[in-house]
A and B are shown apart, each in its own frame.
Chain A
Amino acid sequence: MIRVFRAEWRKTRRPTLFIGTLVAITMVSILTSSIFFLVMDEPRRGREVRVTKAMFEQAGGLTLGFANAGGLLGVVALCIFAAQMSQEYSLGTMRNLLVRQPRRITLLLGKYLSMASFAMLIVLVSAIVSVATSYVGANAKHLDTTLWNTSAAYHSLFLTFVNVLIATLGYGTIGIFLGIILRSPISSISIGLAWLLIIEGILAAVLTSTRQWLPGQLLSIVAAGGDPDVSYSRALISASLFMVLALVASGLLFKRRDVSA
């Protein structure tokens, strides 16, 4: 499995994917963290204020921007996992991989762990950039950041990192599942994004109770550490079940299906 992991990283480290993704993640993290400072204490078209100065000055204020980036990191992970998996079919390289590593579950797990490590790096970079942006934003808005240097703030940062990482890996698992089923990067990414961003979005908006059953919604709730509609623990358990199901289904399909591409 270590050999699969290392071989996969040889592909992942190519500049267009590796540097390109990290630059994009940096930009997205700066943007999502900055937006919160820009809309601080601003009412949203007749709705309640989303973030306040008081919220920022709490210990958890340090991670508000980072948690906000969680959903976007998930989308990036879904695209990378789906593309990396399905391109092996569309390029015909899966047959090379299976000749050199015929143990299919080992190959799948090695690829998954390699992509998961890349996802972890993405989340880490996003965390660092978001926290740095938060300090810059707090300074520009003259916020009191005394509580950001307490153990409670570090604990909150750690929890947010773990939650965003779980959510990102969850989105990535959906990406792998779609990549194996559809075997085409364009189909797997477009169907994945259409489901998570459009269909789930409409369902959740029309019928709020469906949020506890929709994998994308559940992962967003995990990344945010829970929300008023669905508790964190319920979201984590339900999302984990979805992910285990997706991984088992991916494994069975990958192990049994003929490779004719």
Chain B
Amino acid sequence: MGGKLQFSWQAYVMSLSAEPAISVSGLTKKYGGRAVVDHLTFDVPKGSVCGFVGPNGAGKTTTIRMLLGLISSSDGQGEVLGMPLRHPENYLSNVGAMIEGPAFYPYLSGRENLKVLATLGGYPHSRVDDLLARVDLLDRGGSKFKTYSLGMKQRLGIAAALLPQPELLILDEPTNGLDPAGIHEIRTLLRGLADEGITVFVSSHLLIELEQISDHLVILNEGKLLFAGKTNHLLEAQLASIVVRTKRDEDLVQLAAIVKSLGYESTMENQTLHVFAPVDWAADLNRVAFDAGIVLSGLATSRPSLEDTFFEMIGGSK
């Protein structure tokens, strides 16, 4: 109990800290003159869960590799946990990472794989079984890695990332191959880690999952930054809509004309009218419909999801 209180206090203090966990400025990676990552500038606040979003080939994994010192940047600079990117040896002891899926020795057991990394990093071996228990692999810890299912491999990768009791956890697609229950577990685990004060920087294709757990988002497309900031700021900036259903379908056309005369755009989809107006205009809409003799059978407000917003930003379709 005392420990938990201590962790919460730590998380609170860290959240007040102005220094970001990750800060990059103009970060660029070029291969043969082609910029795979093109002048990225963003911050990831300490203690946050930050979603890293982008389509395949957007430059997410390349960026993560630069943050971990695996590849060198072509231009730009950055800091991780207050230390310059050019000296990863100064900060990686406080960073846990899983990049492009879990990679382990197939001929060793899950437990032995973790012990190899624990030995290399100088961490006590007593942590290995604690972590196996945390990712629900204690019973299979003695089995060879090559016998694990994809979900078990992912969980072992997360356990390996947690070995150093990191201040910053960087995970690349941690939910790949997991079933819905496994995805839920990972979501709960990541949220729990953030509550303990650990900054989580996570890339995923599952935007619905990211929307639920991310305080912050960094969105890339074709190597360029599209958005970096708080998740709610992004979603609130998107135009909400009021979804209206009328008792008689033919009234929808009349209602659309009324809405247009009042200065708002609308579209009709599946016998519903989507009015692009502030959500607090719903009451006024109800009144003007009533005044026009139109009986509404449904009135609701709708905000675009992260998925909708993402596809709109990258100019694609679902």
A residues in contact (CB < 8 Å) with B: 3-4, 6-7, 10-11, 14, 16, 91-93, 95-103, 258-260
Contact = CB atoms under 8 A, between A and B. Distances in A.
Given A11-B108, A91-B104, A98-B70, 14 more contacts: A10-B115, A10-B116, A11-B105, A14-B107, A16-B107, A92-B103, A95-B68, A95-B99, A98-B68, A99-B95, A100-B117, A100-B164, A259-B65, A260-B65
Q: Do most interface residues of chain B lie in helix, strand or loop, or is the interface mixed?
A: loop
A91 B65 contact: no
Contacts of A97: 120
Nearest to A5: B119
A101 B70 CA distance: 11
Q: What's the interface size class on B, roughly? A: 20 to 34
A102 B97 CA distance: 13
Contact of B121 (A3, A91, A92, A260): A3
A10 B109 CA distance: 11
A10 B65 CA distance: 26
B89 A102 contact: yes
B219 interface: no
Nearest to A15: B107
Contacts of A16: 107
B246 interface: no
B97 A99 contact: yes
B112 A10 contact: yes
Contact of B120 (A14, A100, A259, A260): A100
Contacts of A258: 65, 70-72
Contacts of B163: 100
B89 A103 contact: yes
A102 B88 contact: yes
16 contacts: A7-B120, A10-B108, A10-B116, A11-B108, A91-B105, A92-B100, A93-B103, A95-B65, A95-B70, A96-B104, A98-B68, A99-B69, A101-B120, A258-B65, A258-B70, A259-B71
Nearest to B122: A3
Interface-central residue, B97, B103, B160, by most chain A CB under 10 Å: B103
Nearest to B103: A92
Interface in B86-118: 88-89, 92, 95, 97, 99-101, 103-108, 112, 115-117
Nearest to B109: A14
A11 B105 CA distance: 9
A96 B119 CA distance: 12
A25 to B, nearest CB: 20
A96 B69 contact: no
B97 A6 contact: no
